Structure 1
Amino acid sequence: MPVDVVAIMEALAEQGVTALFKADAERMAERGKPWTFVASGAPLREDVLVRTDAASVEQCLAVCLPRLRELGFWFPE
């Protein structure tokens, strides 16, 4: 089942979280981990940044979404 990244990011934004996905051309060319997901903002403490680099969008979400849920945020499955 495909993940609705837009719905997830909108839900996080509605809760005050700034969410960013990035595709890095250099890392993609090097066959590294070109995708980055970062979540930050006022609802998160200053010392909390939810971030990962991965080979795919799905891998980023598999790492970050459980962490965001642990912190009390909600978003569609």
Structure 2
Amino acid sequence: MDVVRIMESLAEQGVTVLLKADAERMREGVKPWTFVASGAPFREDLLVRTDAASVEACLEICLPRLRTFGLAIPESGA
């Protein structure tokens, strides 16, 4: 999975992307990864966000939703 390529593609389309690993949640074993995408072409108050157990799980949840907004996203396969 080429996460950098996916994030660059979104950024090129005007989307701000954040991928975060939370140390405290990782120690607790509770969904330590967060994915957030916001900005154009979205309305100001709309964003796509999830917390999950892995980067892959975040992308499996968020990428299909981003595609429904008409964003071109490279396939997540490496």
Query: Structure 2: which 5+ runs fail to align?
Result: none
Determine what percentage of the aligned residue pairs are the same residue. 76
Structure 2: distance between partners of 1:7 and 1:19: 12
Give the structure 1 partner of residue 40 of structure 2. 42
Q: What is the total number of aligned residue pairs between the two structures?
A: 75
What secondary structure does 1:16 align onto? coil
Deviations 1:49-72 (A, max 9, x none): 100000000000000000000000
Deviations 1:19-44 (A, max 9, x none): 01000000000000000000001211
Tell me the TM-score normalized by structure 1: 0.94
RMSD: 0.6
Determine the structure 2 residue equivalent to 1:26: 24
Segments ≥4 residues shifted beyond 2 Å: none
Distance 2:8 2:40 in 1: 16
Aligned equivalents of 2:45, 2:14: Cα separation in 1: 16
Q: Secondary structure at the match of 1:22?
A: strand
